[in-house]
Amino acid sequence: MELRHLRYFIAVAETGSLTVAAERRLHTSQPSLSRQIKDLEDQVGAELLIRSARGVVLTEAGKVFFDHARLALSQVDAGIEAARKAAQPCKQRFAMGFLTGHEMIWLPQAMHILRAELPNIDVTVSSDYSPDLADALARGKLDLAFLRAEPDYDLTYLPVMHEPLVVLMPSDHRLASRESVRPQDLLGEPFIGMGNKATVLGAIIKDYLVRSGIEIKPEQVVDNPAMVMSLVSSTRGVTLIPSYVQNLMPWSVVSRPLAGDAPSVDLAVGYSKSNSSPVLKMFLSHLDELIARVPGAGS
C-alpha cells in the first residue's frame, strides 16, 4: 500500500465523486483513479466505496478506514514538515494562519512581537477558513493560527477574543434605522446562513435562534465573509456574523447590534501540542502582551 492510495481514497471520500476527485483534486483520469481505489480495496480486503444515486458513498468499512487514513497522512505530512525544519536549523521560521479577515486585526501586533525578539525570523502568513487552518496545524504546515476552536482536531486552543454577533443588512434596509435588532425582527427576511466551513459559528447561530423561539430557513448558505457581504447587498438579505466583519464592510452594507443578550463566538490561538518550536514557545509567552495591544481583545 502506498501513500497515493490513501490520498486518492480520501479525495474520493471527501468529494463524494470519482469524477470530481479525478478532475479537480487529483488531476488524473477517472479510469486510473478507479483502478487505484480497486487496488486499495484488494489490499485492505474489504469494499470501501459504493456507487449510489447520490454519487460515491463510504461503506461501514470505508468509514472506519477513512479516519485512520486521514490520521496516517496527517502524521506523514507533519513528519515531512518537521524534517524540513530540522534540515535548516540556522534559519528560524514561523508559519502563522488567520481566519480570513482577522489578519487585519492581529497580524501587525503579532509581527511586532516576533520582530522585537527575532529580527531576522522568516515569517509566512496565510488566510483561510477555520477548519482548514486547524488541519494545517495538525499536519505541521502551520505553527500557530488565529481560528475557531474546531472540535475535530487534537489541538490546544487559547481564547483571545469574544466576538459578539451582529446583524448585517443593506445600508438602506428597514431595520437599519434601529439602534438594535431583536431576533424576531429577522422573521420574513431573506436569511443568509453559514456553510460547512463555518461549523462552529453556524452551531452558535442555530442555537441562538432556537433559544429565541424562532425558526429561519436560510435562502443562501456561504462561508466567505466577502461573499456574505456581496449577497447581503445584492439579494437584500440579512445575516448574523461576528463583529470583526465590520472592519471589512463596504458602504452598501451596515451592521446593528442584537438586542438583549447577544451570542458571541470565541477567536482562539491554536497550535499542536507536539510542536516543539522555540519560536512558538516564545510567541505564546507574549500572548498576554499581544492581547493587550489589540483593542477589544480579551473581552
Distance CA 142, CA 130 (A): 13
Domains of the chain: 3-80 (1.10.10.10), 84-159+267-293 (3.40.190.10), 162-265 (3.40.190.10)
Task: Look at residues 182, 198, 177, 186 and name the one whose alpha carbon lies nearest to residue 237.
Answer: 186
pLDDT tens digits along 238-255: 999 998 888 778 889 999
DSSP 164-208: EEEEEEETT-GGGGSSSB-GGGGTTS-BEEE-GGGHHHHHHHHHH
Residue 24 C-alpha from the chain's centroid: 21
Pairing between β-strand 220-222 and β-strand 192-194 as defined by DSSP bridges: parallel
pLDDT tens digits along 65-87: 888 888 888 888 888 877 877 76
pLDDT confidence of residue 223: 79
Q: C-alpha cell of 223?
A: 462561508
Mean per-residue pLDDT over the chain, rounded: 88
Q: Which of helix, strand or coil describes residue 7?
A: helix
Check: CB of residue 159 under 8 Å from CB of residue 266: yes
C-alpha atoms less than 13 angstroms from C-alpha of 50 in its C-beta half-sphere = 10
